[in-house]
Amino acid sequence: MYRLAAVAEDEGEDSFYHFISSAVSHTIADCLDEYIENGERYAVFYSAFLGGGFFSGLSQYVKPSIACRTAEEADEQAGSEFTFSKMKRMKEKMLDQDKVYTFDIFEEHILFLICSLKAGEARTKKGREKRKRLKDKVEAARVVLREKYGLTVKLANDWSRKMYYASAMCLRDSEDDNLIFWDDDYAIFWTEGFVKGILHLKGLGGKNAGYGYRHTCEIFSDIGLKPPLMLLGTETANQIEIEVQIEQFRKRLSELYKDMFRETSAAEDQPAFPVNEEDLPFN
């Protein structure tokens, strides 16, 4: 099941947490299934959101299962196979009702892309018809959230929609009010593509954001891939690199403070600018 962002975990199939997470998990699994079970639909999704160079360089570290004529084709094939494996694993996690899972940051990126796509589809005739079929479930969940679990009208309306409409799951203006996404780090680390994102995640920035080397390795190992040593390096080497980055940052900060001190001292040594007209030298 999906680990919710705004609800404390509790036990039991009749619990508040289980009621919401179970519905959210099945909604996510159904969305993933649309691409896992339809190769043509998956190809369109991948090409639209993750093709065109996002996985540039990946085939140097994760080999595609088929021979490709160019490095670009190999990157695309490796990226497509990697993403498809991640989506299958995400579905497995959602259908496991005995354990609560947190998506890794690349899985969150996939979920965000799907939710964004669903938000666009919701404005089409086909999307409206699909939402209509789920309306009874949403209404029933709203009643349970209000009457059994005591949520406010506003929260019950919001969460019941997020339980069954993927189009409603994306982050709002405030992360604190959200149910599905813990934060929007997925919008930061992948802006330069997958390989550079991995390097950022295992480095100082990733560590400070709560990820780091081991989390980055699990992005690969969770789908049965051996973490690519040529890309990730060893944990010891990565820690040494981070320590070097910290020392470089401290030096730059120290130099910045010295420059600011020199500028302040120089300004204090300058004669005060006359503020009264009669004090001007040409009067």
Rounded distance, CA 53 to CA 63, Å? 16
Q: How confident is the model at residue 280, as a pLDDT?
A: 40
CA geometry: angle 240, 103, 157, nearest 5 deg: 140
Task: Identify whether the C-beta of residue 177 lies closer than 8 Å to the C-beta of residue 5.
Answer: no
Query: What pLDDT tens digit does each residue of the chain (283 aa) get?
Result: 999 987 888 777 778 999 999 999 999 999 999 999 999 999 999 999 999 999 999 999 999 999 999 999 999 999 999 999 999 999 999 999 889 999 999 999 999 999 999 998 888 998 889 888 999 999 999 999 999 999 999 999 999 999 999 988 987 655 556 788 888 899 999 999 999 999 999 999 999 999 999 999 999 999 999 999 999 999 999 999 999 989 998 888 888 888 777 766 655 555 554 544 454 444 3
Main-chain phi, psi angles of 29, to 5 degrees: -60, -40
Total residues found in the chain within this entry = 283
pTM, to two decimals? 0.85
What confidence score (pLDDT) does residue 8 get?
83
Q: Sign of dihedral through CA atoms 168, 169, 170, 172?
A: positive
